[in-house]
Amino acid sequence: MSKLDELIAKLCPNGVECKPLSEIATITRGGSLQKKDFTESGVPCIHYGQIYTKYGLFTDKTFTFVSEATAIRQKKAVTGDIVMAVTSENIEDVCKCVVWLGEEDVAVSGHTAIIHHNQDAKYLAYYFHSSMFFAQKAKLAHGTKVIEVTPDKLNGVIVPVPPLEVQREIVRVLDNFTFLSAELSAELSARRKQYDFYLNSLLDLESLKPSRVMYVGDLFEIKNGLNKEKTAFGKGTPIVNFTDVYNKRYLTGDMLKGRVTLSDTEITRYEVKKGDVLFTRTSETKEDVGMSSTIIEDIPYCTFSGFVLRARPLTDLLSPKFCAYYFSTNQVRDNIVRYASFTTRATTSGPKLAKIPVPIISIEEQERVVSILDRFDILCNDLSAGIPAEIEARKKQYEYYRDKLLSFKEIKK
């Protein structure tokens, strides 16, 4: 019998009470700070967009700061509070959260819920990333272009509340899983830095010695994506979402999890084809706007979302895989950031992307470069080989045990 089994047998042999979040926590909305408020140092702050891209489940340091004068006007989280992002562009990311473990209070942006509670903070964070919580938030979420779960609705979320000793033992077990995964991730990160060096070196304009340089506007036709009501998503034909493009240099059909129900006319109008280059249209920061991914195989009836721009080739001068690598280089990223606009969010557009220079080299030379980069790509990203495969296996194991450990026999009232 494990230590956890012993604790459950001793402290809650008849089951665990499940309570609404409102009974174990108070939930308040975040403040109003914006990216323009960021400073080099000062009071630590968490912006809701960073919860998706920069933070894990827990942190004691922030990536950004605001001045004391700005911080005075903001809502703050104290040590142990959970900061949850309550708006997102998809159901998967909404309600992602991070536990603040820093010693001083942290300023928190809008589009968040600050959850102040009387439980083990890590335990709640693990629960808020479980499949059980996902099923609840899916019923509470609303919106079309932006998915939201309001802080008021979070009050009704049901949480299993075992004794604190049980919670802490669950956290200890799950922390071990995350620690092992973190070690593997650090090794993979070192490999990817090496990969990025070769990517940018091989695809530098001077290294390629192109026969000529053209521009995206000469080579592609750019179109905005599809907007549909929330009820259309979850079943139907494949759709390329923002996170697909943000996270992958290239896409195949088996990588796409999103589905949407569309008419034949909509499918025809917003289809994607092999060779299409997709760009994220908007982002929280200029540095993240215009991330790209290329469709490298035909995906029947596949469409793309409104947060994405589609660049369809007008010529056969570029191979899909070459595009996948070239449009993710630093020199292209620098051009996209240079032309992006920024108010409350960073945005790019067809006319802005049209200004990006593209080297024209022979298809044979493109294939040579691609073959080199493909080998690095397998080492760094192939889920069937090496470190990525081990990380993926650990992730599945972790998710299985997380949900198992967080499932309890419920006390019947």
Tens of pLDDT, residues 213-262: 999 999 999 999 998 888 888 899 999 999 999 999 999 999 999 999 99
pLDDT band with cut points at 50, 70 and 90 for residue 384: low
Which tens digit of pLDDT belongs to each residue from 8-64? 999 999 999 999 999 999 999 999 888 888 998 999 999 998 998 889 899 999 999
> Taking a C-beta distance cutoff of 8 angstroms, is the pair 294, 251 a contact?
yes
Amino acid letter, residue 16:
V
CA distance readout (Å), 329 to 310, 358, 363, 375: 18, 11, 19, 17
Give the model's pLDDT for residue 413.
59
What is the reported pTM? 0.61
Task: State residue 262's pLDDT score.
Answer: 92
**For residue 159, what are the β-bridge partners?**
19
Query: What's the gap between Cα 9 and its chain centre?
Result: 39
Alpha helices, DSSP H, located in 128-163 = 131-140, 151-154
Q: Is the pLDDT of residue 390 over 80?
A: no
Question: Model confidence over 328-355: pLDDT tens digits?
Answer: 999 999 999 999 888 778 899 999 999 9
Query: pLDDT-based confidence at 379, cuts 50/70/90?
Result: confident
Please check the confidence at residue 185 and state whether its pLDDT lies above 90.
no
* 197 pLDDT higher than 80: yes
Across all residues in the chain, what is the average pLDDT?
91
Q: What is the pLDDT of residue 386?
A: 67
Q: Strand order in 346-347's β-sheet?
A: 282-283, 346-347, 341-342
Cα(98)–Cα(106) distance, integer angstroms: 12
pLDDT value at position 371?
94
Question: 192: which residues sit within 8 A by CB, 6+ positions away?
Answer: 380
User: What percentage of the chain reaches a pLDDT higher than 70?
Assistant: 97
Residue-level pLDDT at 355: 94
**Under a CB-based contact definition with an 8 Å cutoff, are residues 90 and 143 in contact?**
no
| pLDDT band at residue 285 using 50, 70 and 90 as cut-offs | confident
> Average pLDDT of 61-73?
92
Q: Average pLDDT, stretch 66-91? A: 92
Rounded to a whole number, what is the distance in angstroms from the first to the last CA of the chain?
28
Strands (DSSP E) contained in 37-130 are 38-39, 43-46, 58-59, 64-66, 75-77, 82-85, 87-88, 97-100, 106-108, 112-117
pLDDT score at 310: 97
Average pLDDT over residues 130-138: 94
**Widest CA span in the chain:** 77
Percent of the chain with pLDDT over 90: 68
